[in-house]
Structure 1
Amino acid sequence: MKIALVAWGYIPKPPLSHSVLTVINEYKNFLEKIGHQADIINEKDVNEVIEYINNNNYDFVHLHAYSFVSEFNRNLKQKYCFTCHDGYLFKTDKWNEEFREAYQHYFNAPGIIALSHLTKDFLLKAGYSGYISVQVNGIDTQKVSFQDKGNNKAICLGWIQPRKQQKLLAKIIDGKIGIDFVGPLDDPDFVEGTTTKHLGVWSLEQVYSRLTDYSCLVLISEGEVAPLVVLEAMAAGLCIVVSESASANLHHKEFIKILPDNILTDTTPEAKQIVTDTISEMIEKNQYYRQEILEYVRENFDFSRIIYNYNDIMHDFINLHS
């Protein structure tokens, strides 16, 4: 089959990467491994994109750009599937104007590939009645370095911005736990402390080689759909401490701890103690679970496995519209 994977024309400058583009690239790699042709179309002009797809006879089109949906509905000659990656999808009170405008068109998209059952249920409850299926984000675990022991430190990896609440996390645990923050600094209120250091930005290659030095990933964000960084950390052998928003598709495991979204904004001493104790506990436990964590992520999220579910989704959708 000939497949178009459509992004929104964003090309991050090195060393920056972007998790959605990383996922799209892996889809291309693994679709080609099972015999398909996959093209990534990453242009800013939606009309150019539509014209290109209309003229190139694709069997399946998968759109990852939420702002393109209305034009795709209007002008694309074939049926397509759409995936929404917006971190605030479930937090309607936090939507910006652009997303609010785009969202109303999702209900006319012929197909939706949801990143979790939570996303699927949210859209069905809101009134979506087209084709909908679930495909979790995946990772090529072979690309991620893995070593048997971590350094008894935590890492918080990703854009440092208000949605991800790193400034609150740093404030609560400074002086108690060693935690490194890695990612572009996009929150003027973030302040380093004695044990909370900002290491700058890593390239994707550096992420894949350095994550395994750590014992625990912390992502206590107030808005996520299905964060790739959690899979990257598990492929490197790390225990996970995440907020409820960042826990999509994860199972109940000894090496995964889920905290309420508001735990960092809850100013009680008890809440602060829970955050500190939970991270300390996961750092401590990590030495016993690293191999099990790797096996878990390989079994549930490795692209070499999940690509077959995606293949089934494509065929189901095409059969529905043929």
Structure 2
Amino acid sequence: MKIALVAGGYIPAPPLSNSILTLMQEYKYFLDNLGYEVDIFNDKNVNEVIDKINKNNYDFVHLHAYQFVSQFNQSLKQKYCFSCHNGYFLKKDKWEEDFKQGFQHYLNAPGIIALSHPTKDVFLQAGYSGYISTQVNGIDTQKFDFKDQGNNKAICLGWIQPRKQQKLLAEIINGKIAIDFVGPLDDPDFVEGSTTKYLGVWSLKDVYSHLTNYSCLVLISDGEVAPLVVLEAMAAGLCVVVSESASANLHSKDFIRVLPDDILTNATAENQKIVCDTITDLIDKNRFLRQEIVEYVRGNFDFSQIIKTYIQIIDEFIKFYY
């Protein structure tokens, strides 16, 4: 079976990576090993991408770029599935104009592979009537180094930008908790403090090897769909403190704490104490939970597991239309 995976032309400069591309590359690796023939398309010229797909008779096409949906609906000669990775997808009041205009086109996509049940519900509540299923994001846990003990520090890994609220987090916990910030600096208002340090940008290889040195990942973002970094942290043995938006597909566990999206913007004295106490508590507990954390993420999000569901989705989609 020939499969085409389509991104929107993401070409990050080294050492930066792109989580959507990382995800697609993992799908290709695991599908190739099972005997499938997988091609990745990552070009900003949507017409060229469609032309190549139309000429090569793919059995299944999976689009990961919402800006391509309208053209795919018009010009692709076969049915395809679409996954939306927009961080504000679940918050309609934060949709940008191009996304608002595009949403009706998304409802006309032949198939949708939602990244979480809440994401699926948005499509269904809007009247979507095509094929729809849910597939969680996954990772290759074997790529992550693992140490039995962390360094009793927290880390906030990812683009430093207003949506992810690192500036607010740093202000609240500075002087109370040691936390390192890693990722491209895209918020001019972010500043270091006495215990809140900016370490620059890691490559994906650095993530695989360095993340396990820490005890807790913090991601209190006000908009996410299903962030890979949370799974990456757990694969390295870290506890996670996440906002509700960043908690998609996670279960109730001692090593996972979910806080309200607005706990940093509504920074009352009580909320500041909750944030600090929660992070401190999970740093303390991490030393006893690291092996359990890794076993959890391997059982629920490793590609060796989720690839089986993905193949079932492909089969269901083909039967649905053909």
CA deviation profile, 1:82-115 (whole Å, cap 9, x unmatched): 0000000011111112222222211100000000
Unmatched 5+ residue regions in structure 1? none
Q: Tell me, in whole angstroms, the C-alpha distance in 2 between the residues paired with 1:38 and 1:48.
A: 18
Q: Tell me, in whole angstroms, the C-alpha distance in 2 between the residues paired with 1:41 and 1:54.
A: 13
The one-letter amino acid of 1:317's match is F
The CA deviation at 1:267 is 2.4
Give me the TM-score of the superposition, normalised by structure 1.
0.99
1:193 aligns with 2:193: yes
The one-letter amino acid of 1:298's match is R
Which residue number corresponds to residue 292 of structure 2? 292
Q: Tell me, in whole angstroms, the C-alpha distance in 2 between the residues paired with 1:276 and 1:113.
A: 37
Which residue number corresponds to residue 103 of structure 1? 103
CA deviation profile, 1:24-59 (whole Å, cap 9, x unmatched): 000000011111000001111111111110000000
Which residue number corresponds to residue 227 of structure 1? 227
Unmatched 5+ residue regions in structure 2? none
Which residue number corresponds to residue 10 of structure 1? 10
Which residue number corresponds to residue 178 of structure 1? 178
Q: Per the alignment, in what secondary structure is the counterpart of residue 184 of structure 2?
A: coil
1:92 aligns with 2:102: no
The one-letter amino acid of 2:73's match is N
1:280 aligns with 2:284: no
- Tell me whether 94-103 or 62-71 shows the greater mean CA deviation: 94-103
Q: Tell me, in whole angstroms, the C-alpha distance in 1 between the residues paired with 2:267 and 2:238.
A: 28
The one-letter amino acid of 2:150's match is G
Moved over 3 A (4+): none
The CA deviation at 1:320 is 1.4
The CA deviation at 1:128 is 1.0
Q: Tell me, in whole angstroms, the C-alpha distance in 2 between the residues paired with 1:9 and 1:89.
A: 20
Which residue number corresponds to residue 79 of structure 2? 79
Matches for 1:104-183 after TM superposition, within 5 Å: 104-183=104-183
The one-letter amino acid of 1:86's match is N
Which residue number corresponds to residue 51 of structure 2? 51
- Tell me whether 219-228 or 264-273 shows the greater mean CA deviation: 264-273
The one-letter amino acid of 2:242's match is V
Which residue number corresponds to residue 319 of structure 1? 319
The one-letter amino acid of 2:87's match is G
Which residue number corresponds to residue 206 of structure 1? 206
Q: Tell me, in whole angstroms, the C-alpha distance in 2 between the residues paired with 1:174 and 1:233.
A: 22
Q: Tell me, in whole angstroms, the C-alpha distance in 2 between the residues paired with 1:34 and 1:282.
A: 39
Q: Per the alignment, in what secondary structure is the counterpart of residue 22 of structure 2?
A: helix
Q: Per the alignment, in what secondary structure is the counterpart of residue 105 of structure 1?
A: helix
Q: Per the alignment, in what secondary structure is the counterpart of residue 31 of structure 1?
A: helix
**Percent of pairs identical after alignment?**
72
The CA deviation at 1:129 is 1.1
CA deviation profile, 1:259-310 (whole Å, cap 9, x unmatched): 0001001121000000000000000000000000000000000001100100
The CA deviation at 1:123 is 1.2
Q: Tell me, in whole angstroms, the C-alpha distance in 1 between the residues paired with 2:301 and 2:222.
A: 23
Q: Tell me, in whole angstroms, the C-alpha distance in 2 between the residues paired with 1:213 and 1:226.
A: 24
Q: Per the alignment, in what secondary structure is the counterpart of residue 62 of structure 2?
A: strand
The CA deviation at 1:204 is 0.2
The one-letter amino acid of 1:265's match is T
Q: Per the alignment, in what secondary structure is the counterpart of residue 185 of structure 2?
A: coil
Q: Tell me, in whole angstroms, the C-alpha distance in 2 between the residues paired with 1:307 and 1:83.
A: 16
